Structure formats: structure tokens, C-alpha cells
């Protein structure tokens, strides 16, 4: 508890050093904040602000910062085709641990803080690595623990395909029942896949929990923490 209080104080101090949106009110910005917690390794925070449908670029005197796992730091810009996100790596989180993202601007009365608590970690127990599945069939996926009220989704992403081609991906939301049969869609395989070819695809499960967005932002924003399971590589064939 003392560590979290110190981190919160440090987060407020970091954010208070920052400054304004050059005439863009905070109420005109919509946040999309994500805290991704892999089964091993550091957590990653990715923060995006939208002004309408466009990603908003912070001015030199603006700051997005985060406090996760007792560590507080300023998020750094990462350029993208559709605009920037602001990211940082932090310690891993256990269920119930608090993560917070703060936006501060010149002339604003303190930092605008949104927060979320981590959901339970998720361990995928099926499928086994190396399983082969045909498009149009279903893939049995199992995980533990189960029975929470959090949102659970199964992800399949094809990467390495025969003929030096790249496949697609799919995401299916399922109840947190501990098991689900997920349809294997045709779009996982590229149209140019050679006869008899296949794709290697990664399968993983995510458990996500929504947090509380500061009411000073525009409506429609979100902050979410996601526990990500161990991935399993499978083969997808036509």
C-alpha cells in the first residue's frame, strides 16, 4: 500500500510539471488507454487521445504519464501511420492491482487521472502447440481460471504462410466459461496461398477489465487492463 501511495504521489508530481493543449479543451479529447499485461515480462501502457476521429498529438508542454506496479513515469511518443500513441513499460500486475494514466496541460488545475484495476491472469491450456485445423472448422480453446465478469476474447493471427505470404487475423468474444469452440475463418489464409499450403498462426486468450475514465474528457473514452495468456502456434490449412 505504501508503495502504491508513493507511486501515486510521484505520478501527480510528474504530471504537474506539464502543460497545455494550446486552446484544445480537455473536454474535446477522447482517451483510449490500454494496460497490457503478458503472462511473462513487463506490462505495457499505450495511450491515445482523439480529437474527433483524429489522433491528437501532444504539444511540447503536454504530458501523458502512468503509474503501474509502483512505478510512475512519463509516456513517450511512438509514431504511427494514423498518428501517435504514447507508451511505456512497467512492472507486471496481479489481479486487483491499480494502474493509472494521467494527462496534464498548462493552465489546467492539476492532472486528469483515469484508472483501472488488473483482472485475473489467464493461462491457456488448449490448444496444444502444433495442432492443425482447417478453415471452416472450429478450434477448441480452454483457459483458467474462469467464471469472472470480465470480458474474454480469443485471438488467432496467421503470420508465416506458404509461398512467402501473410495471413489474416480474427478476434472472437466469448463468455468466461473456461472453454469455447471458436470458428476458424477463411480470411486467416491469404488468397495467394499455394495449393496444399498452410499458415502458422498464434492463438491466445485475453481477459479485459474496464476502468474509470476522468469525466473531464469527452464522452466515449475508455481505459482498460488486459491480461494476455501464453500463445500457442498452430497450423491452419484450407
CATH number of 177's domain: 2.60.40
Domain count, the chain: 2
Structural domain boundaries enclosing 174: 123-208+228-237
Q: Examine the domain organization and report whether 92 and 154 are in the same domain.
A: no
Q: Examine the domain organization and report whether 72 and 144 are in the same domain.
A: no
> What is the model's pTM?
0.84
| Cβ-contact 17, 60 below 8 angstroms | no
* Nearest one of 88, 76, 101, 94 to 11, comparing CA atoms: 101
**Which residue is listed with cell 480470411?**
187
Angle value at C-alpha 34, between 12 and 226, nearest 5 degrees? 120
| CATH code, domain carrying 70 | 2.60.40.10
Instruction: Label residue 23 by pLDDT band (50, 70, 90).
Output: low
Q: Is residue 216 part of a domain?
A: no
Residue 10 host element (H or E)? helix 2-16
pLDDT in tens, 50-95: 999 999 999 888 999 999 999 999 999 999 999 999 999 999 999 9
Residue where one domain finishes, among candidates 84, 118, 152: 118
Q: Is residue 222 part of a domain?
A: no
pLDDT over 70, % of the chain: 89
Q: Examine the domain organization and report whether 106 and 159 are in the same domain.
A: no
Beta bridge partners of 98: 117
Q: Examine the domain organization and report whether 140 and 78 are in the same domain.
A: no
Instruction: Label residue 5 by pLDDT band (50, 70, 90).
Output: very low
Joined together, the cell numbers standing for residue 178 give 473456461
Q: Is residue 217 part of a domain?
A: no
DSSP conformation class of 26: G
| Cβ-contact 217, 115 below 8 angstroms | no
Residue where one domain finishes, among candidates 118, 139, 164: 118
Q: Is residue 172 part of a domain?
A: yes
The residue-averaged pLDDT of 102-120 equals: 87
Q: Is residue 185 part of a domain?
A: yes
Label residue 44 exposed, middle or buried (CB < 10 Å: 0-12, 13-18, 19+): middle
Q: Examine the domain organization and report whether 94 and 194 are in the same domain.
A: no
Amino acid at each position: 500500500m505504501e508503495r502504491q501511495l508513493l507511486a501515486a504521489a510521484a505520478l501527480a508530481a510528474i504530471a504537474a510539471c506539464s502543460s497545455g493543449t494550446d486552446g484544445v479543451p480537455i473536454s474535446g479529447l477522447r482517451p483510449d488507454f490500454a494496460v497490457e499485461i503478458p503472462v511473462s515480462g513487463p506490462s505495457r501502457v499505450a495511450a491515445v487521445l482523439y480529437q474527433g476521429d483524429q489522433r491528437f498529438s501532444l504539444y511540447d508542454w503536454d504530458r501523458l504519464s502512468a503509474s503501474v506496479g509502483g512505478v510512475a513515469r512519463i509516456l513517450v511518443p511512438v509514431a504511427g501511420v494514423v498518428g501517435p500513441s504514447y507508451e511505456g513499460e512497467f512492472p507486471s500486475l496481479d489481479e486487483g492491482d491499480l494502474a493509472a494514466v494521467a494527462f496534464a496541460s498548462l493552465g489546467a488545475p492539476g492532472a486528469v487521472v483515469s484508472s483501472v484495476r488488473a483482472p485475473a491472469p489467464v493461462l491457456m491450456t488448449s490448444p496444444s502447440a502444433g495442432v492443425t485445423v482447417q478453415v471452416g472448422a472450429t478450434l477448441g480453446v480452454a483457459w483458467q481460471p474462469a467464471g469472472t465478469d470480465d470480458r474474454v476474447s480469443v485471438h488467432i493471427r496467421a503470420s508465416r504462410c506458404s509461398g512467402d505470404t501473410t495471413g489474416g487475423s480474427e478476434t472472437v468474444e466469448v463468455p468466461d466459461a473456461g472453454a469455447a469452440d471458436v470458428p476458424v475463418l477463411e480470411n486467416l489464409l491469404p488468397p495467394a496461398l499455394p495449393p496444399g499450403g498452410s499458415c502458422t498462426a498464434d492463438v491466445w486468450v485475453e481477459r479485459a477489465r474496464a476502468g474509470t475514465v476522468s469525466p473531464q474528457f469527452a464522452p466515449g473514452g475508455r481505459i482498460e487492463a488486459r491480461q494476455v495468456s501464453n500463445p500457442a502456434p498452430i497450423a491452419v490449412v484450407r
